[in-house]
Structure 1
Amino acid sequence: MLNDFSGNVVINGTGNRVSLQRPSSCTDVYIEVSGGGTVEIGARARLCGQHIRLFAPGRITFGEGCAFNGLSYFHMHESATIRLGNDCLIAGNASFSTSHVHKIMDLDTGERLNPAGDIIVGDHVWISADASLWPGAVIGNDSVVGKGSYVSKEFPANCIIVGAPARVVRERITWEG
């Protein structure tokens, strides 16, 4: 049992699951799950002000050793997956959302132009302050996402990603923290 947990866990309805492996620290965390959602947080995580809300069937997974430095947001309004690999570093005010909540439709075809989608972050990825990740964001291992970047597509491993929209500005890098 974790003795130094500070926060709230709210579970609405049935079919929901929250699994918190032995974190290094855990302060000011808010987890709300409904609609058959699952939250899994790996061992050695350092949580600090995470705001996690699942309102649809889906899964949010933080790998082992993920560290958070300040408030960050994880929202799921439509069925999808958010997965952070092992040993990721997430700076304050980062946000992750698997949908834009409001549907944008093509008037001629009725096609949805902004569908929900997964967010997949590889191992040992550093996501800087104020970055936002949206449906379709895939970040390769050992990469860095710059401050304030807007990420909604796939990026390779070992690169620096910056901007809104995000783009690769440097390849063949790694980082230490």
Structure 2
Amino acid sequence: MTVLTQTFKADNLFVGRYTFYDGTDFEADCVRYNIPGHGNLRIGSFCSIAADVQFMMGAANHSLNSFSTYAFGVVNPDWGQRLGMTKADMPVKGDTVIGNDVWIGRGAVMMPGVHVGDGAVIGAYSLVTKDVAPYTIVGGNPAHVIRTRFDATTVAFLERFQWWQLSDELLPLVIPYISDVDQAQALAGLRRFAREHQLAG
């Protein structure tokens, strides 16, 4: 397991605090087709990324509007000079954004431009082609909603509270609540904590 830090070679990869990857070289193992100018990868704090996860970056796309989808320029530079399309003709999906406290299961593939909300869970070997709402569990190929983790009121509270923004001094004080499986007790504790520390919630 490796806790990721902002020490990537590429300047379009960003990661928050304490996010970890079940491997040793996240950039080499997980980030595919990363060419500058084709979008950023932004991963929040406290995410859990399993082995063999793949983030397909913007350069993974092929044009579907030309008669051939073949990557002529990749195979032969001379062919690349003869292309009838430009970089501007290629589909642009934008940044791939992974929220905070997201768990991405082994072998999942994240397509370019998807946004995954805070607290979401991506099932193992899923193909994520569309945005995933906060605190939603998805799985399959293509990934589809399996269920939401909590009721709408609880999700709204967690999105306001944003425990992942707490300082390293305050964080240990909420760990008993955010790791408690008794949701009613945990929610009451977090609400009390928010009042005592004048935090949103």
Length-normalised TM-score, structure 2: 0.54
**Mean Cα displacement is larger for which, 127-136 or 66-75?**
66-75
2:111 equivalent to 1:145: no
2:1 equivalent to 1:40: no
SS in 2 for 1:130: coil
Q: Does the 8 Å CA contact 1:78/1:116 hold for their aligned counterparts? A: no
What does the per-residue CA deviation read over 1:66-121, in whole Å, with 9 as the maximum and x for residues that have no partner? 0111264113124211011000000000011212535223148x795743431100
Matches for 1:86-165 after TM superposition, within 5 Å? 86-101=45-60, 103-107=62-66, 114-165=91-142
- Aligned alpha-carbon RMSD (Å): 3.1
Letter aligned with residue 97 of structure 1: M
Residue 74 of structure 1 corresponds to which residue in structure 2?
Answer: 31
Cα gap change, 1:114 to 1:162, in 2 (>3 Å): farther
Cα gap change, 1:87 to 1:138, in 2 (>3 Å): same
Length-normalised TM-score, structure 1: 0.61
Cα gap change, 1:132 to 1:59, in 2 (>3 Å): same
Cα gap change, 1:105 to 1:88, in 2 (>3 Å): same
Residue 146 of structure 2 corresponds to which residue in structure 1?
Answer: 169
Work out the number of aligned pairs and report it. 128
Residue 164 of structure 2 corresponds to which residue in structure 1?
Answer: none
Q: Say which structure is richer in strand.
A: 1
The percent identity for this pair of structures is 23
Letter aligned with residue 92 of structure 1: A
How far residue 126 of structure 1 moved from its aligned partner, in angstroms, is: 0.2
Q: Say which structure is richer in helix.
A: 2
Q: Does the 8 Å CA contact 1:133/1:150 hold for their aligned counterparts? A: yes
Letter aligned with residue 40 of structure 1: Q
Partners of 1:100 and 1:66 lie apart in 2 by: 25
- Gaps (5+ residues) in structure 2? 68-84, 156-177, 180-201
Cα gap change, 1:96 to 1:53, in 2 (>3 Å): farther
- Gaps (5+ residues) in structure 1? 1-23, 30-38, 42-51
